Structures are given as C-alpha cells and as structure tokens.
Chain A
C-alpha cells in the first residue's frame, strides 16, 4: 500500500500533512474510525472501496510473486502484514455497517434518506433483513394478537405515527477533532458557536456536528 498520492512537498507542514493523509489506506482508516464511532450509518465510500479492492488484489498477486521469486522472506512477511492490516480494516468497515443495518433495519426501510447512504448490495441486505424480521415477529406474536393491534410499527391503529421503530441515538456523545483550524461555526440545531483548533479533542453531541462529519471537516476518534 505504498502508493503515495504525491511526494511530500516543502510548501509547509500543513500541505505535507494533507498529502500524507490522502493515501487510500489512510482514507480507509479514517472512514473506518468514523463509522465505528458514529451512532448512525454514514455514506458508503463507493469509489474508495473499489480502489482498495483493486489494490488488495494487486498486493496479493505481488506477494505471491515475491514468495516464489526468492526475495528475502522477511520483506515478504512485512508486505504480508501490511496487506493483512488493510484487509482487516476493509472487512471491519463492511462488518460495522452491516451490524448497524441489522440494528436499525426498520428505521432504514422507512427512511429513504438513510437508504441513499447504503451501497446497492447493502440495500438488498437491508430489505431482506427487515422482511425476515417482520415475518418472524408476525408468526410468533402479531398474528395471535387481537385485530387492531397487529401492526409491526404502530402500537395499535389509534397510534398517530409509527411509534415502535428503534432509531439511532443521535444525541450520544462522540469524541472528535479537526485537522485544520475551524473558525467559529454554528452547531447544527442550536445557536451556539464553536471554534476548533487542529488536533484538539472535543467531546460533543453527535447531532451538533453531523453535517460536518459527513463533509469530512471533522473526524471522529
């Protein structure tokens, strides 16, 4: 994974930092960390994942070649370790997303905005998940209940809205930091202003910085 996006420039530490941190593996690490820390499912990084898959395959082929061509086994095992780490990040990223889909399957199926954040295969998975769960609950409980109480998302037909859907807790606290200096900006959903210096840790409600995380200005830790 040693394909740097560009050489380190002498134009100042800031630019160097930005260049170093834009290798695909770094981007994957960032996406993985964000996904792990966020209470809701984030946008699927389609192009990044595609590139990483290609790179993993290339690396696997290279390692096989090296192993056969008598290159120092220590070097081969170093490449292997690097590959393993990347593969772990890749699989873990997909796994975390799947587990979030499993957790909030009804919320996702009723919410087209959230659905737009899933990959095509994830959408299929989410639909199957919700169907299976619906059938399971209907067979075991709902079909045996009296008529007006058989709905899966409403407590009874006199409920005004779907009141039985588990939703992600958007006001849970997260630890975050920004790589650059962020001038006083307004927090989502309130009038307070917040200023963030680079690499300074901040503990805050997720929903106040939701938009900024999606745009990549703020990273979750």
Chain B
C-alpha cells in the first residue's frame, strides 16, 4: 500500500547499528521506485479525466482532484524516503573514509551498491586532493596526543617497513616504541594495538 514499502526501507536504515551499514536492499528500493511510477500513472490518468470533463485542473476540488493529490503526496513521500535512505547511507560511507581509510575491507564492500562504491571512490579522491593541496595529512592525529611516543604490539604480520631512515621488522607479537603519527595508520587498520599500561 501507499508508502509502506518506503517506510520499511527507512526502518531498515534505523535498525542497523549506529555507524554501521546494512547490505544495500536493491529489491526494496526498486519496488519503491516502481510504486512511484504507478502513482504517477494514476495521477496522470485522473488529471486527464478531469480535463476531459472540461474542469479547470488548478481550481476544481472534486473526488478526482483529491485522488490525484493523494497519489502526488504518496509519490513525494516515497521520494523523500528513498533519498533519506541513500543520503544517510552516503553519510555513513563518508564516516568510514575517516575511520578506515581509502580502502574498504571486503565485508563492508559487499554491503554497498555499485553507485555507492563509485561515490566512495570519488569522495576519497576529493578528500585526498584537498589534503594534497594543503600538503597535509588530516587522517592522522585523530585523538588528542598524550605522549609523543607510544608502545605498540603488532597483531598481524606486517613485515619489514621503511620509515624515515631506518627499517623495522614488524613481526607478529613484537613490541615497538613508535612515534604516534607513524603508528596511527596501523592501529586504525587493526594491525597494531596500543599498549596502555
């Protein structure tokens, strides 16, 4: 019925955990779009009926007018729900760029639709271009610094990494004393953890 499917779509959005995406429901959104076309056809046929009866479409207030109005309002509500669905998902996608970086892990990527993947890439590109124009990396330093150097334990094998002028071997379970900004990129990808003793 009118607006129920769109409401379901929005409820799906609200039911996910905050900041997490649910898999993109292309079936439901296609159904909502099909409903919109349906409403539009009905709307047009009612308007045509009024015109054939010689009534002024702008000012007449009869049953057909109100029928057309209901179709219009349902259409507009469906549109709002659809756009809210896409817009809010896009918001979550943008927050992922800040949290996880320009490359998404497989489990998250599965939940995106094709256009959303495109949007993700484009927006990452926009951010990168802004940061390179300023010559500044804004994705480090996300928490206020307590110490300039922190102790970290390596969780996954990272191997040998070249930093500044020395190479360090980040083998699993090894502990290192690193500059905060250097370690942050590994910590945010879950490859290292900070030791706060």
Contact = CB atoms under 8 A, between A and B. Distances in A.
B94 interface: yes
A96 to B, nearest CB: 10
Contacts of A139: 115, 118
Contacts of A80: 148
A164 B76 CA distance: 11
Contacts of A141: 29, 33, 79, 82-83, 86
Given A84-B145, A85-B145, A129-B126, A137 B83 contact: yes
Given A132-B119, A149-B36, A164-B80, A88 B141 contact: yes
A94 B135 CA distance: 13
A121 interface: yes
A155 interface: yes
Contacts of B144: 85, 88
Given A84-B180, A94-B134, A121-B130, A149 B145 contact: no
B108 interface: no
Contacts of A135: 119, 122
B116 A145 contact: no
Contacts of A133: 87, 90, 119
A136 B40 CA distance: 23
B134 A145 contact: no
Nearest to B85: A141
Interface in A32-88: 77, 80-81, 84-85, 87-88
Interface string B127-168: 101100110101011001101110000000000000000000
B65 interface: no
A91 B148 contact: no
Given A94-B136, A94-B138, A146-B36, A156 B72 contact: yes
Is the contact region of chain A dominated by helix, strand, or loop, or is it mixed?
A: helix
Pick the most buried of B80, B116, B122, B148: most chain A CB atoms within 10 A of its CB: B148
Interface string B27-71: 001000100110010000000000000000000000000000000
B113 interface: yes
Interface string A87-118: 11001101100110011000000000000000
B123 interface: yes
Nearest to B143: A88
B10 to A, nearest CB: 13
Contacts of A92: 141
A137 B86 contact: yes
Contacts of B75: 146, 149, 156
Nearest to A155: B76
Interface in A134-157: 135-137, 139-141, 144-146, 149, 155-156
Contact of A140 (B37, B86, B129, B138): B86
A98 B138 contact: yes
A139 B33 CA distance: 13
Contacts of B36: 145-146, 149
Given A124-B130, A133-B90, A137-B83, A156 B76 contact: yes
Contacts of B129: 124-125, 128
Contact of A81 (B76, B98, B116, B145): B145
B113 A121 contact: no
B118 A136 contact: yes
A103 B90 CA distance: 11
A84 B98 CA distance: 20
Contacts of B116: 136, 140
B118 A149 contact: no
